Structure formats: C-alpha cells, structure tokens
Amino acid sequence: MSAASKVPTAMRRRKRRDAVDRSLAVYAGLVYLFLFVPIVIVVLFSFNSGRHVTQFEGFSMTWYDQAWNDPMVLEALSNSLQIATASAVIATVFGTAAALAVRRLSPTTQRVVAILTYLAVVIPAIVLGLSILLAFVMFADWANPWLAYLWPGDDAPELGLGKLSVIAGESIFGIALVMTVLQARLAQMDDSLERASADLYATPWRTLRQVTLPQLGSAIFGGFVLAFTFAFDDFIIAFFTRGQSQTLPILLFSSIRRGVNPSINAIATVLVVVTVLALLLALFFLTRRTPGGAALPLLDDTSSASREDPAAPAAGPARTPQERTAEKVST
Amino acid sequence: MPPMNNISRRDLLRLLGYGSLASAGVAGFAACSPPESEGTDSGSGGGGGDGELGSELTLATWPNYDDPELLEKFREETGVRVNVQVYGSTEEMETLLRAGNSGIDIAVPSQYAIPGWISSKLIQPLDYDKIDVDLSGWNKAVVDQEFDPGNEYTIPKHWGTTGMIYSEELGEEPTTWREFFELAGSLDRRATIVDHQISSIGSAAVALGLDFNVQDPQGLSEVADYLIGMKSKLFAISSDVQPGLRNGDSWLSIAWTGDGVQVVRDNPTFKYVIASDGGEIWSDNWSVAADAPHPEAAWAFLKFIHEPENAAANINFTLYAHGDPEVNELVDKEVVDNPVVYPDDDTIAPLSFATAETYNSPDRAKTWSRIKSS
Amino acid sequence: MPKLIPRASTLSTAPAVAWFVVFMVAPLTVLFVVSVGVRGPDGGYAGGFTFDNYLELGNRLAPIWNTLKFSLLGTAVTLLVAYPLAYYIAVKAGRRKLVLLALVIVPFWTSMLIRTYAWTFLLGSNGLPAVLREWGVVDDLRLLNTPFAIVLGIVYNYLPLMLLPIYVALERLDPSLRAASKDLGAGRLATFRQVTLPLSAPGVVGGCLLVLIPVMGEYLIPVLLGGGRSYFLGNALADLFLQSRNWPLGAALAGAFILLMTAILLVGTAVARRLSGAATTGSPA
C-alpha cells in the first residue's frame, strides 16, 4: 500500500467507524429502554388514582396508603427481610470460613467440597425447594412424636415448615455464591503480604484479621449483598418450603392471580427505590474505599458469579489461558 | 408399650399408607417411633388450656376472603389477633396441612378436598356447642352434602359457581358450555380456560355431554382430544383470568364467581353467565385443623364470624353467596339482588359439586397434564 | 497464604459442608426415596419400591422437549442481544463503563415477579400493539401469551447474567491486541472476527451456561407471559406437587431433570475448555 492511498482509506475507515460506533450507542440506548420501560410503567401506575392498570386516571397516593396499612403486606415484608438477612449472614459466615480454608484440605476433600458447591449452584431452585419440602415433612413426621414423648412439659416444640426451611433453602445457594466469589478473589490475590505478615511474627489469626480479611472486604460485602438479594427476591424455593410464612414475592404472586390490585405497584415502587438507593450507596462506599473502579465487587470479574452461577467452575479455568495469552502478547 | 398391641387410628392410617409421608415410607422410622400416649392423639386438638383463647389465631384462606375490619373487630372483642395466610388453591393448603405442624388453626378448603381431609385426620369435628351455629335453616344446596354429611367437620363459608365471562366484543351470547367451547375453538386466541383440572375438564366434559365429574378413561380421553384440538386457538390456560379480559386480549373465559363479580362491577359491558347445560357449583368451607395450636380461639372465631351481622359484613366485602338466609337478610340489597352472586335456584339446579374422587383421580390429573403439555 | 494458617483451621469448612449435607444432600436423597414410591390414594406419597415412575416419564417427554427448545432459543437470543451491548460497554463506553454496567444490573435487583408482570401489560393489546396500531405499523398484532413473549421474558430477566461474563472477557482483552491486528492491516471486521470474538468465546460460553441453567427451571415466565400454554419442566413439577399431588412422579421427574442438567453442564464445560484452548492457540500472537 502506498502512502498516498493510505490516507483516504484511513479517513474512510474513520468515517465508517464513527457510523458503527454511533449505531452501537443507539443500540445500547434501545436495550436500556427495554430494561427500564417496565419499571417506569410500574412506578407510574403506582400513582394512578384509578383501579385500571392500563389507563392513567390521575395522580394519587391511595395505593401506597393501602399497601402500608395492609398488615399482610407488612408481615410478608418483615418475613422476607428476616429470611433474606438470616440467609445472607449464614451464607457469608459459612461461605467465607470455608473459602479461606478450602485450599488446604486434602485433594480428595477439596474435590468433595468442590462437587458440593457445584451441586448447590446448578441444582434448579425448584428441585431444591421441593426436596427440602419432602425432607422437612418426613423428618418432622418422625421427630415430632419423639419430641412430644421426650419433652418434659406439655408444650413440646414441633418441627415443621416455616422460616427455617426457607432460610435453609435460600442459604444453600448463598453459601455457594459467597464461596465462588471469594475463591475467585483469593486466586487472584498476591500472598506476599501474608508472607510478610508471617515473617513479622504475626499469628495466623492476626494475619487473617489484619491482612487477609481487609483485602477480601469488598468481595465479602459483594457476596453478602448478592446472597441477600437472591433470597429476598426468590419465589420458587419459598413457594415450596414456606410453610405458613408468607414472603413478599409469594404474596405478590397470589395477589396477581386473584384479580388485579394496583397496590402491588406501590410495593414494587418502594422496593425499586430502596434497591436503587442501596446500590448507589454501595457503589459510592466501595469506589471510595478502594482506588480504581475494579474494586467494585459487584461489577468486576468475580461478579460473573452473580445469582445463579454455574459458570464459575466452567468459566473459571476457561479464563486463565486467555489471561496468559494477553500477558504473553503484551510483554 | 409396643405399638402393635394398641394400634391407634393414626397408626392404622399410617399402615394403610394414607396420605402424607406419615405413611409407610417412613416404615423404617416407624419401627423406632416412640410409644404414643393417649392424650397426644390428634383430633382432640392439643395445646392451650380450656377456655383460654390465647392471643393469636392462624387462618389459612384465599386472598381477599375476609374483611380486615371484621378481623380487627374480632381482635378488639377477644384480644385474639388473626394471622391471615393466603393461598392460591386448596391444594396448597393441603400440602401444608399434610406436612404437619403447619401452625394453622382454621383452614378454608373447597368442598372436594374435605373427604380426604377427614379420612386423613387433617381436620377435627366441629364443636357446635362452642360455635353456636344452627344449620337447619340453611340453603339445602350447600349444607349436609355428600362431602360432609351432617356438616360434622365443616360449615360452608360461602358458595359460588364456575361460569363464563364474556365481553361485548364477542358479539355472541353463549349460554351453554357447548356454545362456549365452540366459540373458544373458532376464535383466534380469545378464550381463556382456568388452570384447574376440576373446572376446565369438567366444563369441557359437560360441553361434550359427559358428566362434570367424569373419570372413566374413555370419557377423559374424549375431553383431552377435544381440548388439545382447540389449544392453539386458546388465549391462555391460566387461573389469572382477569388481566386478559380487562385488557381486551381475551373475550371470553371460564371464571369463578369472584372473578365474575369483580370484572362485571368494574366494566358492565362484561357478562357473567352460568351455563344452562350443567357445570360446577362449589363451596369454600370453614374447618379447624386437627393439630390446631389454638382450638379455643378457633371456636371463638367461628362463633364470631357466624353472628349474622358479622357474616353479612363479610359477604358485603367478599361478594360471595352465604348459605344462611338470616345472614342474607342483612346483606346489602344490591349484593343479594346481584344474580352473579346469588343466582336463583333454577339456575343452579343443573350444576354439580366436584367430588373428592374427581379431585383425587390420577387419571384426571394425567389428562390435565397431557392437555397442558401438548 | 496457603501454608500460613494451621491445619486445624481447615475445620472452618465444616459448617458450610455440614449445611450442604443436611439441607441439600439429605433432601436430594429423600427425593430419590420418594421417586421410587407410589402415590397415596389422596395424593402425596406412600412407601414402596418401584421404578414405574421413571418408566412413566417416557409418556411425559413433552415438557422436557419444550423446556429444552425454549431455553436454547432464549439463551441464543439473549446472547445476540447482550454481546453488542457488552462490547459497547467494554470497548467503547470509556469512563461511563461503570455507570452503564450498574444500569444493567439495577433492574435485575428489583422484584422479578413485578417486572415480568409489567410486561403482561406492555405486551397486552392495550400496550405495545395499541401503539403500533396507532402508528399504522400493524393492524392486529398479538404478542402476549406467544412464544415471542416467553423469549422476551427470558431475555429481559437474564440479560445481566449473559452480559457480565462477556463483558469481563472483553474488558480483559488487551487493546494493544486489536491495535496490533489493525497495524497488520486487518480491517475492523477481520479484527473483530479473528481477535475479539475468539478471545471472548469463554465469556460467551460462561454466559450461556449462566442463563441456560436457571431458564430450564423457570416457572414464572411461562405462567405469566406464556399464558400457561407452554409447559416447562418447572411447571410440570409444580403441577405434579401442587395440583395432582403425585409426589413420587414429581420426584422422578425432578431426578431426571438433575440428570439432564448435569449432561448439559458436562457438554458445556467441555466446549468451554476447547474454546479457550482454541483461543490460546488461534490468537494472532
């Protein structure tokens, strides 16, 4: 190619590139529209004065009032919060403890743990939910007569489905989630700091507390938030294991089925606002604490392990060769 | 004492493999189950001393089935707070009751589930002395029925029908299930049938001249072919019938009374019609769980809710038909005069209750899943 | 870090493992036990030992096929929608990257039930079809309760799960690679095809698995947007447990479901391995 012909080609290319870039930007805009229109609709109709969900008849706060004064809504909300908090705490504590130690188990035990984690991630929520239902029912049926028999007083406690079984189900996935997120982070972490700490005669516990955990802080927080969100929004596990505890998604589902009540829009709007605020807060907090955007645990690579993440085992090893390539090329 | 010497009814039921996982599946466990003392047998409703109401009562029911103000009034009068749990179907309530230790005091099943609940000891006989209700004057269409002779275990909360709703856009006025299904099959995705084998298979069976409670394989396969043949012409198989109708997507639909009342109230161009060639009448019924943690509160609530003034207030809220004429005297005139809520005797004469056999029939269940998965 | 903490601390894996065993392995074992039992006369479960339920599954393949068909289609469409967006955010968005990513995730964090329900109004005849009718684009467009609506529901709910792994793969791609490709005279399209696409392949496979697996267990989307006319495995399971109350057959179907899932994952993982191997050897370096 001669220098003379290269200039116009480059210009043409740049022009075409601009066109491509612009259409990409337009495309992105359309996808965001797609993502947000339903939410806008929900928010808009939560202020609708009429019952009709398809015609906007005027501004009113009726549905907020109604939802706020409905004891069933409040109870479901409180149940959901309790369940999500408990599941996320269990998931974070157990998951973090396990992730820190798992690499020092014997290879066989490591494999067992890996298989269990993998299972927890890939098992369809509906299958887990109904298995727990069956297991709780069977166990309670066997254990309760014993409890009643052995209990000193008359009021023997009885086991059954309820918040506990929902928490059990939700936290299974949560533990796997936290473990995956943390293991991915640990794999990237440089252990020189820990060595230095040990060289300086810090006890292992102190090293853990003062060196390892702070470095993992954002990942742990990210894991907690993901586990919480999953448990809070989950419908299907709770649907099977809830016993008599109503959760918010289940209440919304049964309200939808039995005729339309715009107060569900009000509840949803409150949830949207709370979530967005929490997310903004987390974003602000995390980007300030650690320099560089990548510190945001929800958005960096470990978050490919978001929600129902089977890719961690699959994509985990898959990524490394590609990293290697990148390193090889750039050096 | 070894269990075999003194087999309680509950043990017998277990051995027969009745119902829940209490049954033979746990036979391995059963061998090491603790001796059962007389007092813990179900049916007597453990917990709570006599006369003690306690402070709480759990009611398992359907959405919007009770006026919250009435529950508040009950709390003011007795100090008992009613904890309402809503379920989308009787089946869901049943799953929970069978699981045991559900914490439920009062449940409101549809009539077809009741015989199974009685035989599985999920509910206990009502203490009529305490609830103080006399059913002798009640509408004979809903009391003393085959599913609970003498109403030993249940009292109808209210009753209703399974009819059809259609909009004026349809341009026709079907009056029979035959006409309904002919229209459904001829329109392009405008008809909705409910996702409930009892109502949908039953209504289609009526359209084909079969019994609403059809259970024989040949009849069921006829129904299956009929519905599968028109499935691509249907708008939805969903119990969530209202949104489609209100949005104008669906022009006609199988519907239960509650949906009929609400849709017609909000948009009078819709009609709710009870088919003249047969179909379903149903009742949802008060019952008290065998292992109710607060039986005394349950009796007190049932007494409260059957005081004519309270029952009428609840009917004005829920817009279903009550079985007690004394109550109906007090119900708002526009409700009693609404033929959707209170159809006359001639209209309901051809209708049948779904039986427990229909509810439990594996063949009907299979037929329904065949239709849905086709 | 590995050798620094004493061996005794490996005990800290115990709670997680115990939790998994008690609330996952044991229930799955119960599921298996139930799957070889028989249905009680009033529904539910009665003990027994028979493989009839598994044999009966042969007559119930329809939901399995239907699920596979829709999940694969839905995953493919999600990929097509997500890839250009991931590319735009990772490569073109510059400083707005984080904000744009956060915007993808925000909807994902609000009740899925409500968002999906909102679509029933948007797709219903007073929604989008009415707008299009007004504009004279189409006369009688029917969107709700169609396969289209189900696929839309899948794309809408699972887009972030597809987008994130692809974004990560593209983000890690060294810009100098693309620059090198261009310096060597490759056109934009050629660079994309020969450099960008292969290197992002592992992210694509990861994203596809992330989407495919939960979609296969989906219950709400076919109910709310498919009008119950399309029957997924999740719906079949819910019906068997909650409507027909045939627990043993439901348990057998759930068992088959797990097997199917495992098979898909094994294949997916193998593909991911090969692709990442190919990406390494096939790179322009």
pLDDT in tens, A266-320: 888 887 787 777 777 766 665 554 444 343 444 444 333 333 334 344 333 333 3
d(CA B312, CA B318): 10
Test A257 with B99 for CB contact under 8 angstroms.
Answer: no
Residues B99-156 have pLDDT tens digits of 777 889 999 999 999 999 999 999 999 999 999 999 999 999 999 999 999 999 999 9
**Is the domain of B139 the same as that of B229?**
no
Q: Which has the higher per-residue pLDDT, B322 or C265? A: B322
For A239-289, the DSSP string reads HHH-TT---HHHHHHHHHHTS--THHHHHHHHHHHHHHHHHHHHHHHHHHH
Q: How confident is the model at residue C95 (pLDDT cuts 50, 70, 90)?
A: confident
Question: Is residue B138 situated within a structural domain?
Answer: yes
Query: Do residues B213 and B290 both lie within one domain?
Result: no
Neighbours of A108 (CB within 10 A): 8
Please tell me the least confidently modeled range out of B3-17, B214-228, C84-98. Answer: B3-17
Look up residue B254 and give its amino acid. Answer: I
B177 in the same domain as B28: no
B165 and B154, same domain (yes or no): no
Chains that touch A (3 or more CB pairs under 8 A): B, C
pLDDT at B39: 40
Task: Give the tens place of pLDDT for each residue, A67-91.
Answer: 888 888 888 999 999 999 999 999 9
Q: B247 with B301, same domain?
A: no
Q: Letter for the amino acid at A91?
A: A
With contact defined as beta carbons under 8 Å apart, do A284 and C124 qualify?
no
How confident is the model over A137-187, as pLDDT tens digits? 888 878 877 887 887 777 767 777 889 999 999 999 999 989 988 888 887
Burial B132-146 (b: 16+ CB within 10 A, else e): ebebeebbebbbebe
Token pair 């229909």 is at which residue? B358
Identify the band that residue A220 occupies on the pLDDT scale cut at 50, 70 and 90. Answer: confident
pLDDT mean across residues, chain B: 86
For C4-31, the pLDDT digits (tens) are: 455 556 788 999 999 999 999 999 999 9
Say whether pLDDT at A255 is over 80: no
pLDDT band at B37 (very low <50, low <70, confident <90, very high): very low
Q: Which domain holds residue B12?
A: 3-40
Q: Which residues of chain C lie closer than 8 angstroms to A109, CB-CB?
A: 10
**Predicted local distance difference test score (pLDDT) of residue C179:** 78
Residue ranges of domains in chain A, CATH in brackets: 70-316 (1.10.3720.10)
**Does B250 lie in the same domain as B366?**
yes
Q: Which pLDDT tens digit goes with each residue over B244-288? A: 898 889 999 999 998 899 899 888 999 999 999 999 999 999 999
**Mean pLDDT (whole number) for A198-219:** 77
- Note whether residue B96 is domain-resident: yes
pLDDT at residue B8 in the model: 38
Q: What is the pLDDT of residues B52-72, one digit of tens each?
A: 788 999 999 988 899 989 999
> What was the pLDDT predicted at C112?
85
The ipTM of this complex is: 0.86
Q: Which residue of C has its CA nearest to A295?
A: C98
Q: What is the pLDDT of residue C273?
A: 80
d(CA C95, CA A212): 30
* Range A220-225 average pLDDT: 85
Q: What is the pLDDT of residue B277?
A: 95
User: What is the least distance, in Å, from the CA of C50 to any CA of chain B?
Assistant: 13
Task: Give the whole-angstrom CA distance, residue A304 versus residue A321.
Answer: 17
Confidence category of residue C114, pLDDT binned at 50, 70, 90:
confident
Total residue count of chain C as it appears in this document: 285
The reply to whether B235 falls in a domain is yes
Which tokens go with B300? Answer: 């007190």
Domain presence at residue B47: no
User: How far is the CA of B261 from the CAs of A78, A93, B204, B236, in angstroms?
Assistant: 33, 52, 23, 21
Is residue C68 within 8 angstroms of chain A, CB to CB? Answer: no
Q: State the Cα–Cα distance between residues A83 and A231, nearest whole angstrom.
A: 7
| Same-domain status, B232 and B181 | yes
Please report whether residue B49 resides in a domain. no
Question: What was the pLDDT predicted at B88?
Answer: 80
**Percent of chain B clearing pLDDT 70 (strictly above):** 86
Taking the alpha carbons at both ends of chain A, their separation in whole angstroms is 29
pLDDT at B82 over 70: yes
For residues B141 and B69, state if they share a domain.
yes
Asked, for residue B46, whether it belongs to a domain, the answer is: no
Q: Which residues of B touch C240 (CB under 8 A)?
A: 369
Tens digit of each residue's pLDDT (9 = 90 or more) over C188-204: 788 888 888 888 888 89
Which residue intervals of chain B are DSSP H helices?
9-15, 27-30, 68-78, 90-99, 114-119, 128-131, 177-186, 197-207, 217-230, 242-246, 257-266, 295-305, 308-318, 325-330, 333-336, 345-348, 356-360, 362-373
- d(C-alpha A112, C-alpha A101), whole Å: 14
Nearest CB neighbour to C236, from listed B116, B235, B369: B369
pLDDT tens digits, B184-213? 999 999 999 999 999 999 999 999 999 999
Cα separation, B128 vs B131, whole angstroms: 5
Our CA-based measurement puts residue C239 at a distance from the nearest CA of chain B, in whole angstroms, of 8
Residue owning tokens 């499935």: B231
**Distances in Å between the alpha carbon of A133 and those of A241, A243, B157, C105, C214?**
5, 9, 30, 32, 20
Give yes or no: residues B144 and B242 share one domain: no
Any domain includes B168: yes
Q: Do B95 and C241 touch (CB under 8 A)?
A: yes
* CATH assignment of the domain containing B89: 3.40.190.10
B244 within a domain of the structure (yes/no):
yes
Domain count, chain B: 3
Could you tell me the two tokens for B79? Answer: 């100090």
Q: Do B374 and C62 touch (CB under 8 A)?
A: yes
Span C64-111+147-282: which CATH code? 1.10.3720.10
Same domain flag for B273 and B363? yes
